[in-house]
Amino acid sequence: MLTTAVRPVCRSILNKSPTFGEQLKNGQRYPLSTCTSTRLTSCTTVPRNTSKASVYAKISTSTNNSLELNTTRTYNLIVQPSDLASAISSNAKIDKFPRVLTASRMVAFMEIAAALVLQPLLSPGQLSVGTSINITHSAPTPAGAKVTAEARYIGQRGKLYESEVIAKDEAGEVGRGSHERAIVEIARLKDGAKKRGASQ
């Protein structure tokens, strides 16, 4: 009879482990199958060959303060002149940029949509901040066009919440990618900025 090998997967280990599938014990790396600590309460069992993404998804949907996978939020806006690439080409040494939506503003709209996804997880005094983004800007959008940025939650990796992000105008898709955010304390964020010389 064929049996499937399983291993306990502990969220606390995933958060601290140097590599997926390992834990630290007295400074040494061990497979997760050696996880026996009674203090690790957020454990679940999955097949040994389960992918990292599947494990993160299983963990993120089994905790009380988690989001359901595929939770989606959108952010709609009309492209303004200040959103155009031409608005940032004031340096004469740089080629004159066209009057189309700049990639940086598209990213900002995607971030807003992803932040809306995480709103249910925020406690008083918290906010979410972007930590990484990987996007493709595939089509030009003129001023006056309506743009919809959509973020779809696809899983948690330690303290990071990842969303698939897509931007569309009335003619179709203009960009897509993935974006990770973390939930932080506002006071701590301000303190960190102050130490780096920020005035507020």
Residues 181 and 126: beta-carbon distance below 8 Å: no
Beta bridge partners of 100: 142
Cβ count within 10 A of residue 114:
28
185-196: pLDDT as tens digits: 999 999 999 999
Q: Which of 73 and 3 is assigned the larger pLDDT?
A: 73
Q: Which two tokens stand for residue 99?
A: 């009057």
DSSP β-ladder status, 160-169 and 146-157: antiparallel
Q: Which of 49-53, 64-68, 98-102, 172-176 has the lowest mean pLDDT?
A: 49-53
Backbone angles phi, psi at 77, to 5 degrees: -160, 165
Provide the pLDDT for residue 88: 81
pLDDT of residue 166: 99
* Average pLDDT rounded to a whole number, residues 92-99: 76
Lowest mean pLDDT among 14-23, 132-141, 143-152, 169-178: 14-23
Q: Kindly report the pTM of this predicted structure.
A: 0.65
Nearest to 108 by CA among 52, 151, 60: 151
115 contacts 161 by C-beta, under 8 angstroms: no
Residues 10, 35: contact at Cβ < 8 Å?
A: yes
Task: Kindly state the average pLDDT of the residues 81-91.
Answer: 84
Q: What is the mean pLDDT of residues 15-30?
A: 36
Domains assigned to the chain: 6-50 (no CATH), 72-195 (3.10.129.10)
* pLDDT at residue 69, rounded to an integer: 96
Separation between Cα atoms, residue 66 and residue 47, nearest integer Å: 22
Q: Which of 105, 115, 114, 116 is nearest to 169 (CA)?
A: 105
Q: Is the pLDDT of residue 78 over 90?
A: yes
Residues 33-67: pLDDT tens digits? 333 322 222 333 334 444 444 433 333 333 336 78
Amino acid at 178: S
**Residue-level pLDDT at 144:** 98
